[in-house]
């Protein structure tokens, strides 16, 4: 216990050092930098700004309240990490949940590791550390990989080395970003898993993706059942040897599409699979438009 008190006192002493304008540390080579950089120091919460590079955008309120209760009882066990911006001003690199929870219980200071980092280094540290977390959803991880590619211009091979993940794993996460935004939200909110998403992504048409997503949610389909559903759809689209009857079916559909469009006053979509089965989709743009189409159908 005495050792823990001594460590806390040391952090407070260094905190006072950082508040002295004559000892303002701006680079790793400055005087007293070795006493500060990499050490745990009690920092004023008001001196810490949120990291704009933070990949996480969704914070569960119940989980945050639980962490706040833990901090109220035990204190901040794992220090946050910050980078020094200027005199007594810091920017969060990692630990936003801990910082938010500390504010909830009214703490005025928080233990922090101090780093000297430029914007690129700060972004890389924040993204890499967050990717390693177990409570990020798959879309947040995918967006983190995407930012490393776009903003830091890392290749998938370089990212693989940085985060310790296989290149194929990184590629699988990135492919999720090709899903319809509605499905991405479904993954983030836990309605479907990454496994479901990986199955759906094999469908290029986003309208069909959404149809399959709705079936997964409404029928509580497993990943294996989803894969079978996708496979059945793909099998139905495979080209079949031309037969007179099938050729006639497609020809009739093409002839009637214009009639459908004129009748409903909308661009009707007609899809026909290789087995002759198909689907007619009639779009509407408002409740009034929907009622108009219903009246036409009822005659």
Tokens of 227: 């894969």
**Catalytic hit among 73, 96, 161, 291:** 96
* Cα distance between residue 74 and residue 269, in whole Å: 61
Residue among 297, 155, 89 at smallest CA distance from 145: 155
- Please tell me the distance from the alpha carbon of residue 68 to that of residue 103, in angstroms, as a whole number: 8
Query: Would you call 49 a catalytic residue per the annotation?
Result: no
CB-CB contact of 45 with 110 (8 Å): yes
Sign of the Cα torsion 167, 173, 177, 178 reads positive
Residues identified as active-site: 96
């Amino acid at each position: 216990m005495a050792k823990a008190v001594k460590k806390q006192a040391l952090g407070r002493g260094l905190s006072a050092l950082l508040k002295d304008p004559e000892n303002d540390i701006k680079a790793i080579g400055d005087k007293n930098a070795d006493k500060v950089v990499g050490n745990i120091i009690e920092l004023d919460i008001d001196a810490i700004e949120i990291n704009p590079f933070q990949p996480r955008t969704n914070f569960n309120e119940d989980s945050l309240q639980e962490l706040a209760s833990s901090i109220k009882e035990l204190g901040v066990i794992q220090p946050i990490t910050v980078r020094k911006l200027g005199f007594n001003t810091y920017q969060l690199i990692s630990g936003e949940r801990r910082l938010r929870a500390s504010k909830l219980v009214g703490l005025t200071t928080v233990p922090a590791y101090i780093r000297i980092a430029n914007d690129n280094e700060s972004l890389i540290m924040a993204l890499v550390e967050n990717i390693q977390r177990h409570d990020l959803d798959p879309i947040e991880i995918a967006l983190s990989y995407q930012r490393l590619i776009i903003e830091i211009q890392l290749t998938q091979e370089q990212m693989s080395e940085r985060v310790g993940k296989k290149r194929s794993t990184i590629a699988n996460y990135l492919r999720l970003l090709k899903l319809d935004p509605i499905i991405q939200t479904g993954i983030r909110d836990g309605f479907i898993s990454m496994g479901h998403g990986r199955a759906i992504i094999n469908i290029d048409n986003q309208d069909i993706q959404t149809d399959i997503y709705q079936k997964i949610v409404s029928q509580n389909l497993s990943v294996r059942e989803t894969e079978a559903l996708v496979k059945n759809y793909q099998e139905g689209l495979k080209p079949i040897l031309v037969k007179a009857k099938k050729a006639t079916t497609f020809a009739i559909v093409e002839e009637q599409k214009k009639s459908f469009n004129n009748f409903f006053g909308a661009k009707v979509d007609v899809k026909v699979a290789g087995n002759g089965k198909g689907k007619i989709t009639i779009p509407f743009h408002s409740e009034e438009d929907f009622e108009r189409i219903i009246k036409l159908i009822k005659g």
